Each structure stands twice: as C-alpha cells, then as structure tokens.
Chain A
C-alpha cells in the first residue's frame, strides 16, 4: 500500500509540465467537436448530449490505454524497470498508484467536453440524473484503473507496447458502445460487448441524460461493477505473473 501511495504521489509530481502525458486533454475537445459536428449536421441536436458524453468516454479510454502502456514502456526505455523491481515495494502496487493518479485526472474530461459543446454548439447539455452520472463515473474510474493495469501487464509481455496501445483504441470504442450503443452492433458481437466494462458504463452515462425513470438501472450498475472487479482481479494476477516471469528469465528490459 505504501508503494501504491508513493506511486500516486510520484506520478502527480511527474505530470507537472509534462505535456506528452496530458495530450489527451488537448484532444478531448476535438473529439467533442467531431462527434457533435456529425450529429448536428444531420439536424439531430437531440443527440448532442450523447455525442458529448461519447467524446468524454473516448478521451477517458484513450488516456487509460496510454497510461497502461506508458508506465511500462517509459521505465523500460529508461532502463529503470530492473531498479524498480529490486526495491522493497512491489512493482504492481507502484503501477497501481501511478495509474490511479492518472485515472483520477480523467474525471476532468467530463466538464471539458461539456464546456466545448456549450461554447461551440450553444447547447449546454442538461443532465436529468446527475446522481446516476456521478455513480457511473466513480465505478468507471475503478474499471479504468483495472483496465490500465491489464494493459500494463500486456505491455510487459510484448516487445512494442505502442502497437498494443494503438490496437486498443477504435475496436474498444465500438465494443464499448462509447458513442453508438452496443445494441447497434451485429448480434454475434453483442455478448463480447457485455464483457467490456465500457459498454455498461456508456449505457449508464447515456441513461443519465434522458428524463424519466431509468430502465434496468440495477442491472447496468451490477454489470459495470462485476466486469470492473473481475478485470481488477485478472489484471493484478496477470501483472504479478508477468513481473515474476520477466524477473526469473531476466527479460525485464528486453521483453
């Protein structure tokens, strides 16, 4: 736990003035402009809220994939992994702390894209169920920490983490139903989509924008919670296993 807290603090300190790691905050308004522009050009202003939330979710996921890959890749490039492993703190806890620091910042995407839509489309998105959105964001953060840890574990396994990071973007936007609900996917893909925590989170976030009672609220919350927790357990097991493998085979800086 001390390692996780140290990782959290170190990451926040390292973020100061480091635009490279924060570039997604510059990209998020562009996602909002693109998605809102597409729906507005079809005279579907009623979908501006969903497009805005979609932009926030896409940005959150971009940051998540980037963190997971970067925490490994940057240390590997600097030749720091061996040194970090030799310290008394467990590496996966350190990663967890660093990832949590990043992920906690990702909540800022929501006000950022909201402001973009309000300024450029003169459409302040109303949120009839703010409590549901807040709950979704909190649970989403848990899922994101788990997902980024999973990406970090995979990045330890592959030679070029950058390719992995790239491959995890658009396929997950689709499977996670980040902009278009997963129910629009082909029938055979839908079960896979339900395994992705993002599909539950995006359903909940969209539901928070609609007035009136929310159908299947409990199921969606439970789905998001279960997929996030399973991923958290899986990611910690994977990280533990790949770190052990890399240590015993002397592959930390090479794999």
Chain B
C-alpha cells in the first residue's frame, strides 16, 4: 500500500515540476490561443451559469452561480492533470515516469496541475 510521505527534496521537486507545468502550458498554447481559446471559454462558462440565475429572476441565485461557476473552473483546471496523465499514457511516457527516483511523478503532477 502506498503511503503519502513528504519527500525530503520537496522544494526541488516543486520547482522542477512547476517548470514542467509552465513548459507544458507554453507548448500547448500561444498567448492568442490561450486568450481567445481558453480564457474566453472559461469566462463564458461563468456567464452561462449566471444567465440561468437571471432567467430564474433570482439575484441570490446569480451570485451563487457566479461564485460556484468560478470555483468549479479552478477545480477543472486542477483536474486537467487527469487528462495529461492520459496523454502521457497515450504517448508511452508513463512507463518512463514511473521508475523515477523518490515520488517525483506524483508531486510533479500535483504541481503541474496547480500551475
């Protein structure tokens, strides 16, 4: 059974995995595709749910849906790690990530998703 222990080289791991996260982000998006593709999409996601509150003619519901919608996006961003792990698997990278020293990959994934 895997136990969750904090690795001794944690700062190094966080730094390295954050770098990986930024590089992944830069490889996947350009500033234009991020702004007009991703950012527009998440902003309209919040607006979409907010308009449901407007349709219900309920101001409290609008506030609830805006805050909830924005929070859901933060969760969704973190959950992209699931998708990235699947990509790694599809590209045949998972077997290479697994036999790494210490718990690099699990920490790397967490930091990457946070980025």
Contact = CB atoms under 8 A, between A and B. Distances in A.
Interface of A: 35, 38-39, 42, 44, 47, 160, 163-164, 166-167, 169-171, 173-174, 179-181, 184-185
A169 B24 CA distance: 23
Task: Identify whether the interface residues of A are mostly helix, strand, loop, or mixed.
Answer: helix
B40 A160 contact: no
Interface in B39-56: 40-42, 44-45, 47-49, 51-52, 54-56
Contacts of A173: 44, 48
Interface residues of B, number: 22
A133 B47 CA distance: 28
Task: Identify whether the interface residues of B are mostly helix, strand, loop, or mixed.
Answer: helix
Contact of B41 (A38, A171, A180, A181): A171
A164 B54 contact: no
B61 interface: yes
A169 B41 contact: yes
B36 A180 contact: no
Nearest to B55: A180
Given A42-B56, A42-B58, A42-B61, A163 B38 contact: yes
B45 A164 contact: no
B28 interface: yes
B34 to A, nearest CB: 8
Given A38-B65, A39-B56, A42-B56, A174 B51 contact: yes
30 contacts: A35-B52, A38-B49, A38-B52, A42-B56, A44-B56, A160-B28, A163-B28, A163-B29, A164-B37, A166-B37, A167-B36, A167-B37, A167-B38, A169-B41, A169-B45, A170-B47, A170-B48, A171-B40, A171-B41, A173-B44, A174-B44, A174-B51, A179-B48, A179-B55, A180-B52, A180-B54, A180-B55, A184-B51, A184-B54, A185-B51
